[in-house]
Every structure is written in structure tokens, then in C-alpha cells.
Amino acid sequence: MQTLIENVNIVNPFEEVKSDCNVLIEDGLIKKISSAEISVKEGAEIIDGQDNYLMSGFIDCHVHIFAKGFHKQENMANPLGLHFYNAVPHSLQTINAGVTSIRDCGSADLGFKLAQQRKLFIAPKIYLSINPLVMTGGHFDLLLPSGWDMEIVYPGYPKGRCDGVEEVLKKTREMRRAGADFIKVMCSGGVLTANTSPEFSQFNKKELKAIVNEASTSNMKVSAHCHSLKGMNNCIDAGFSSIEHGTFIDKKTACRMVKNDVSLVPTLLVHQFLYENGFPQWDSYADEKTEKLKEIVKVHKENVSVAYDEGVNILMGTDSGVIPHGHNLEELIHLTDIGMSGDEAIASGTVKAAEYLNQDNLGLVKENYVADLILVNSNPLDDVSILSDNDNILMVILDGIKVKY
């Protein structure tokens, strides 16, 4: 199957825009880019790009595609099947926002990945962590004071709670057996879990090193949910590959991340969105969560700006699922707020994210690269905020196939 996109302007970060181009796609790859006419086989699909802008589809490096706010009451009230069906509209919202790949940091299972690959519904490609590892009493230990355990568990989706070197070793192996592409660990308190606080570290160094050592036997990276400064330094010492959130990061820790090649996924959008929009009235933990957010919103951007100035590799991620899906590229506005150029912000969600995922033919509009592409109505390098409006994303192509048009 061939597809020819004519009359487009090609946008890659850190390059001059290539005007009036034609792009040939075949077997899911970009086969040829030329300003001259390209001949195609009979039956090929011809798309008139109408002088719009063609760029790589985005990679959101922190998503929870099954999640719809992580409200424990809903876990108790809803049939388990609804947990899976939620992924269908969430996936479409994500695609419509211009995101063609996601790194799911807890909630999705191998079934979703297989359903996406078999094209059972429109969905972004996924890199799985299965279920985060969490210590007893830590962030996302969902056993309530009542004694009821709100963690969703079913065959093929192992529980994440573990303590001590032997247990974290086993859980790492269980997540790998369940289909994980990387391991996610809750290394500090968080906003959404009662009786935990973001500034406190979780798991000890021996446990963290055991996780990394076991994951490394399969070349799996390990990612840390971490707001805590001490927690971040523990993760750096243990050999983690990325820090998610990084709220209380300082200059010294940022320098250590650069030295040890640890990336940061700051998810700036999520805290601002929650602070502005709040939690459902029926959420009995809403007041506690809001108090935590006050502290986080106040310092997060300022601290991440320090990390950017020190040269930390920053990747785009949104924590969608904690907030409604489909707002993904609003994160680019927050990244430019901390000092990134438009090129840098776009690269953080395209070519830089692809490099982190070890995908060397993804994230650019380039010959022999995967044809995961979006067509937008103006040049995003002039103003990245245009990407935050899904109406400006005219078309999304996944593996050479139109999924939004």
C-alpha cells in the first residue's frame, strides 16, 4: 500500500522548514521525500497537503491510558470491564491530540498492546510498565484505613506492593513476565494517595538497586515517580534511567542527573490542571490533595527551569489519566515557560523521546523513518501553542494509515 502526501511543508526540530514537498509512504515507512513529482503505483492514495505542515507524531512519555482520575470510589463501584473499555475513548482522544506513541506509567496491560497491534480500535503505540512497584504504605498503596484494598488486580496484571530486596526482585520479574517494557517504581510520596507526602522518599537504596540490577538483565530501563529530593538522589545512586515529576529538584541534583545520564519527565501540565480544576465533590480526600498541590504548583516550574539550565535531558510527558486525556500537547506550552525553545519542546516529545525509547527510526519526518505523522495548519516552530488546540491537528497518520482526518 502506497500513500503520497503532496504539497506539504516539513517540520523537524533544529532544521529549516522544507517547503513544497511530496512524501511517499509505503509499508508504514517514509520511502521518499522530494520537491519533485513522485510517481506511484496504481491504486495509491493521494493526499493533498494543501500547503500545511507535516511533522512527526508525538510521544507522550507519561500516560495512564486506562485511568480516569484514579478515584478509589470508582474502583469499588464499577464493574472491572469498564476499566478496560475506558481505554477505547481515551486512546481516540490521545490520537486526536497528535500523540502516536505513549509510555504508560501504570494501568495498561499486555492486552492493550496486543489490541493496538491488531488494530482492534484506534490507539497509539504503547510502551508498558504494567503496574508500578510500591512499598507498603507508600504512594499508590491503595489499601485504605478501612482495610479495603482498592488496587485493581486480575490475571495477567500482578499486584505492585512489595517490601525488601527479595520481594522487589520478585515483583520486577513478575512485571517483566506480564509484558513490561520498562519498570516503574514509586520512589516518593504523591498527591493522589492519602497519608503520603511528596517530599518524603520511599524504598531504600538496597531495594532500588535490586530493582535496577534485575531489570538490567533484560536491558529494561527503570523509571521513578519521585517528587522528593532525597528520593531522586537515591534513584540516581541506584542507576535509574528517568525521574518522573522531579518537583523538588535542585541544581546539585540536576548536575548529578546530567553526569549519570538520567532523564527528567516533569509532567508540568498535571499539577496546574488539577490545581485549577480541582477534584470531584464526592472525593473524600479532595482537601488533602489540594493542600499538597499548593506546595507543588508553587515550586515545580521554578525547579524544573533550574534542571533545564543545567542541561538535564527533559522529555515530554503529561500524566494523562490523572487528568482528562486529549490535552497532551498543552505540555509544550509549559515546557517553553521553563525556558525551552520551540525546537527543544517539540524535540522533547518527538526525536528525543524516541531516542530515550531506543527507537532510532522514529520522531522525525525523514526517509526510512516510521510514518507516524501529523499534519497541522501552521508552523509550530513559530508558536508551539497552536498544537494545544486539537482542531489545528488536521490529520494523524499511524504506521502510514490515516487515523484522524
Q: What is the pLDDT along the chain (405 residues), one digit of tens a residue?
A: 899 999 999 999 999 999 999 999 999 999 999 999 999 999 999 999 999 999 999 999 999 999 998 877 777 889 999 999 999 999 999 999 999 999 999 999 999 999 999 999 999 999 999 999 999 999 999 888 888 888 898 999 999 999 999 999 999 999 999 999 999 999 999 877 777 888 899 999 999 999 999 999 999 999 999 999 999 999 999 999 999 999 999 999 999 999 999 999 999 999 888 888 876 655 656 677 777 787 788 899 999 999 999 999 999 999 999 999 999 999 999 999 999 999 999 999 999 999 999 999 999 999 999 999 999 999 999 999 999 999 999 999 999 999 999
Best CA proximity match to 175, nearest among 191, 194, 193, 156 = 156
Looking at residue 305, its pLDDT comes to 98
- Asked if 60 and 31 count as a contact pair (C-beta separation under 8 A), the reply is no
Q: 104 to each of 107, 126, 253, how far by Cα in Å?
A: 7, 7, 26
User: Same structural domain for residues 165 and 292?
Assistant: yes
**DSSP state letter for 128:** E
Q: How far apart are CA 134 and CA 155, in angstroms?
A: 19
User: Same structural domain for residues 124 and 31?
Assistant: no
Looking at residue 310, its pLDDT comes to 98
CATH number, domain with residue 25: 2.30.40.10
Looking at residue 145, its pLDDT comes to 85
The DSSP result for 89-146, as a single string, is HHHHHHHHTTEEEEEE-SS--HHHHHHHHTTSS---EEEE--S-BB-TTSTT--B-TT
For residue 69, give its domain range.
58-356
Q: 220 to each of 170, 180, 211, 282, 342, how far by Cα in Å?
A: 15, 9, 10, 39, 31
User: Same structural domain for residues 387 and 280?
Assistant: no
Best CA proximity match to 207, nearest among 241, 227, 179, 231 = 231
Grid cell 525546537 in the structure block, residue? 343
Looking at residue 276, its pLDDT comes to 81
Looking at residue 193, its pLDDT comes to 72
Looking at residue 70, its pLDDT comes to 84
What length is written for the chain?
A: 405
Q: How far apart are CA 265 and CA 247, in angstroms?
A: 10
Measured torsion, CA atoms of residues 175, 181, 185, 186, in degrees rounded to the nearest 10: -100
User: Same structural domain for residues 279 and 306?
Assistant: yes
Burial 260-281 (b: 16+ CB within 10 A, else e): eebbbbbbbbbbbbbbeeebee
**Residue 222 is placed in which grid cell?**
527503570
Based on the structure, what is the number of domains in the chain? 2
User: Same structural domain for residues 209 and 338?
Assistant: yes
CATH number, domain with residue 107: 3.20.20.140
Interstrand relation of 263-265 and 242-245 (parallel, antiparallel or unpaired): parallel
Q: How far apart are CA 280 and CA 282, in angstroms?
A: 5
User: Same structural domain for residues 62 and 22?
Assistant: no
Q: How far apart are CA 183 and CA 171, in angstroms?
A: 10
Looking at residue 282, its pLDDT comes to 58
- Asked if 76 and 150 count as a contact pair (C-beta separation under 8 A), the reply is yes
User: Same structural domain for residues 29 and 117?
Assistant: no
User: Same structural domain for residues 134 and 14?
Assistant: no
Pick the last residue of a domain from 340, 356, 372: 356
User: Same structural domain for residues 137 and 122?
Assistant: yes
User: Same structural domain for residues 141 and 44?
Assistant: no
User: Same structural domain for residues 107 and 23?
Assistant: no
- Asked if 81 and 112 count as a contact pair (C-beta separation under 8 A), the reply is no
Residue type, 135: M
Q: How far apart are CA 368 and CA 366, in angstroms?
A: 6
User: Same structural domain for residues 62 and 52?
Assistant: no
**DSSP state letter for 382:** T
